[in-house]
Amino acid sequence: VTATKYENVLLEENGGIATLTINRPKSMNALNSDTLTEIGQALDDVKANADKIKILVITGAGEKAFVAGADISQMKDMNPIEASNLSKLAHNSFGKIENLPQFTIAAVNGYCLGGGLELAASCDIRIASEKAKFGQPETTLGIVPGFGGTQRLTRLVGRGKAKEMIATGSMVDSAEAYRVGIAEEVVAPEELMNKVNEIASTIMKNGLIAVSMAKYVIDRAADLPLDLAIDFETQMWSQTFATEDQTEGMAAFLEKRHPSFPGK
């Protein structure tokens, strides 16, 4: 699947791994409303092609930026209603990332600021280049993060660190992002895509229904009381015993061979 219908993003597929590239390098891949709309449409394409696409990688075009935030030139003259609509557009598109059956990886190649960090935080994991820089600079512009930053960043790093990052608007480097739990791995810039592909390939060897269900229960149960969350896990766990993947996975182990998961 190589979709050419988009102007602000690229969607390519290779060997079951789709890559969605935010493609406005002259503006540091800033997210304007057209780009947010296209991200949503591309995610619909990824979901509709779940037979071919097993993993989604999201990255930014060019050397410098993953995404340097929402497009400030577009936001400059917005009134509160327009601001609300832009925020809802982003929530709609970013929510689709969490609701995809496929596992998602943010390949953070450079500046990951404002709406960029909010986009990355919507992915299942974040792998960062040593050159990446992370921040929520909204308060330096006189606004609050509006694409999920007060919530998803807080869930990643805890309230104190999220408040520090949002109140200061300062950037943190990759080492700090790794230390506080924003990035799961940090690698040299030239190794970023190799590392992401290695992780994607490792995941793809596993039972992908199980991966999808694990993603679902982790996200959906995260804000439930522990007893309900544990019940939810039991339900997911027991349903995996209705899959051929479970039969194959356990048979392969006992027969001392590699599993070949049918994905059903």
Nearer to ligand HXC, 88 or 205 (CB): 88
Q: Looking at 113-121, 124-132, 172-180, 227-235, which segment touches ligand HXC (CB under 6 A)?
A: 113-121
Q: Examine the residue annotation and report whether 138 is marked as an active-site residue of this protein.
A: yes
Nearer to ligand HXC, 69 or 207 (CB): 69
Q: Examine the residue annotation and report whether 164 is marked as an active-site residue of this protein.
A: no
One residue of 86, 100, 186, 221 binding ligand HXC per CB under 6 A: 86
Binding letters toward ligand HXC, positions 56-85, x by CB under 6 A = ------------xxxxxx------------
Work out how close the CB of 55 gets to ligand HXC at its nearest, in angstroms, rounded to a whole number: 26
Binding letters toward ligand HXC, positions 172-211, x by CB under 6 A = ----------------------------------------
- Integer Cα distance of 173 and 122 in angstroms: 19
List binders of ligand HXC among 18-37 (CB under 6 A).
27-28, 30
List, by residue number, the catalytic residues. 118, 138
Binding site for ligand HXC (CB under 6 A): 27-28, 30, 68-73, 86-87, 111, 113-115, 137-138, 141, 145-147
